[in-house]
Amino acid sequence: GENVEQHPSTLSVQEGDSAVIKCTYSDSASNYFPWYKQELGKRPQLIIDIRSNVGEKKDQRIAVTLNKTAKHFSLHITETQPEDSAVYFCAASEGNTDKLIFGTGTRLQVFP
């Protein structure tokens, strides 16, 4: 089955700096890669996603890149703000199924 690894586990940045979180996956048949933001005790919120036929996608301060050959994808947050502080999870679909397998999470802290 799919295995998703995520780094770093914690990330502290100054407000206004950029933050990058990286994930690798094992299943070459995976075709969907969402990123979620989760605040304590809340449900995960989709912030951006990318499909395997696209290499990069951007939405305002958030971007995701995908390297299918290397089987890794990254989340980039620019001009970080304190409200970006949360736990971020990457996920990958398991093969060609509906299942989403989550990474281990990154706790992002943005200091004012």
Task: List interacting residues with other proteins (CB under 8 A).
Answer: 1, 31-32, 34, 41-44, 46, 49, 51, 89, 93, 96, 98-105, 107
Minimum CB distance to other proteins, residue 102 (Å):
5
Nearest CA among 81, 95, 102 for reference residue 38:
102
SS3 83: helix
CB-nearer residue toward other proteins: 42 or 61: 42
Minimum CB distance to other proteins, residue 48 (Å):
13
Residue 5 sits at the vertex; the CA angle it makes with 12 and 57, to the nearest 5 degrees, is 75
Q: Phi/psi of residue 36, each to 5°?
A: -125, 150
CB-nearer residue toward other proteins: 65 or 95: 95
CB-nearer residue toward other proteins: 75 or 101: 101
Minimum CB distance to other proteins, residue 79 (Å):
26
Q: Phi/psi of residue 12, each to 5°?
A: -120, 130
SS3 108: strand
